């Protein structure tokens, strides 16, 4: 199924594309511009503990914005149930505010929700950086398969959990779970839009939530501490990401890696 009219997702009551966010005003418009350019309607869930103007940016760029209330430090997995309970559609696709779906992924989503043959779908996620010239770079030392994510699901059929580095839900019984094909992948832009200090604070926040859950992933979040070289990055030729990658390189040159 080609995405000729993504607005159909919102009109037919089938899918909510949900983006949770907090303190992302520095880059959120660059992320949401992608969805606007490709006419993919999203619902942005803004944590009410944001201390910058994230809510204002979301309201300017997204067709629908909701606020999330959580007294704890922001951990996305702990908010999945709250977002899901506010979902009025049969399907929810969760995409974080530093991720983008490929158009192949969105075509796959459109296809499978119309077929309704499974309950939960898993997608490979590429860990990416952006070069000084605005090229999107895939980190070849990190496997997209090993970092796959359960993101498309039917909220009414899930049981929810508050565990770090989990989907935020679990599947009960014999409900069907499926893996998307490798081309239906997403990109993770954590390194490109968050500074080293931002990511270090994330590690510390995760450790405070669950002991060692940040430290265990330190080498992933803080790649600068590893012996990465330009040879560890390969250009990712997906035209839909050309515009956001160039915009990120111009706004955050200090976060770019060498071509």
The per-residue pLDDT for range 245-258, each reduced to its tens digit, is 999 999 999 999 98
pLDDT at 3 over 60: no
Q: What is the DSSP letter of 113?
A: H
Percent above pLDDT 90 for the chain: 66
Structure tokens at 12: 């037919």
3-state secondary structure of 240: helix
pLDDT at 155: 92
166-210: per-residue pLDDT in tens?
777 877 777 788 999 999 999 999 999 999 999 999 999 888 878
Checking DSSP bridges between strand 149-153 and strand 91-94, what pairing results, if any? Answer: antiparallel
> Is residue 180 a contact partner of residue 111, using CB atoms and an 8 Å limit?
no
**198 torsion bin: left (phi>0), alpha (psi -120 to 50), beta (else):** alpha
Q: What is the rounded distance in angstroms from the CA atom of residue 160 to the CA atom of residue 107?
A: 27
- Return the minimum-mean-pLDDT range out of 24-38, 69-83, 91-105: 69-83
Domain map of the chain by residue range?
7-255
Q: What is the DSSP letter of 86?
A: T
Main-chain dihedrals φ then ψ at residue 53, nearest 5 degrees: -100, 40
pLDDT at 8: 47
Whether the full predicted model's pTM is greater than 0.75, yes or no, is yes
CATH 3.90.550 fits 7-255, yes or no: yes
pLDDT at 78: 64
Residue 258's H or E segment, with its range, is none
3-state secondary structure of 160: strand
pLDDT bin (cut points 50, 70, 90) of residue 70 is confident
Structure tokens at 94: 């969760």
> Is residue 186 a contact partner of residue 125, using CB atoms and an 8 Å limit?
yes
Main-chain dihedrals φ then ψ at residue 31, nearest 5 degrees: -70, -50
pLDDT at 175: 75
Q: Vertex 203, ends 197 and 208: CA angle to 5°?
A: 125
């Amino acid at each position: 199924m080609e995405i000729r009219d993504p607005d159909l997702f919102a009109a037919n009551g089938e899918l909510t594309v949900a983006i949770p966010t907090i303190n992302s005003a520095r880059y959120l418009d660059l992320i949401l511009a992608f969805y606007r350019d490709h006419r993919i309607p999203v619902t942005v869930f803004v944590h009410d503990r944001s201390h910058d103007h994230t809510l204002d940016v979301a309201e300017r760029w997204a067709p629908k914005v909701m606020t999330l209330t959580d007294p704890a430090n922001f951990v996305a997995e702990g908010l999945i149930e709250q977002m899901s309970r506010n979902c009025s559609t049969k399907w929810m696709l969760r995409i974080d505010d530093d991720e983008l779906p490929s158009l192949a992924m969105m075509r796959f989503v459109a296809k499978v929700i119309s077929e309704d043959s499974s309950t939960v779908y898993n997608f490979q996620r590429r860990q990416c950086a952006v070069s000084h010239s605005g090229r999107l770079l895939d980190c070849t030392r990190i496997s997209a398969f090993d970092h796959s994510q359960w993101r498309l699901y039917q909220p009414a059929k899930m049981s929810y959990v508050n565990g770090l580095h989990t989907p935020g839900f679990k599947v009960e019984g014999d409900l069907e779970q499926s893996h998307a094909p490798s081309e239906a992948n997403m990109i993770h832009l954590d390194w490109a839009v968050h500074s080293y200090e931002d990511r270090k604070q994330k590690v510390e926040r995760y450790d405070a939530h669950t002991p060692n859950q940040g430290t265990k992933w330190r080498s992933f979040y803080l790649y600068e501490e590893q012996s990465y070289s330009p040879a560890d990055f390969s250009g990712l030729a997906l035209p839909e990401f050309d515009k956001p990658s160039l915009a990120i390189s111009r706004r955050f040159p200090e976060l770019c890696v060498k071509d």
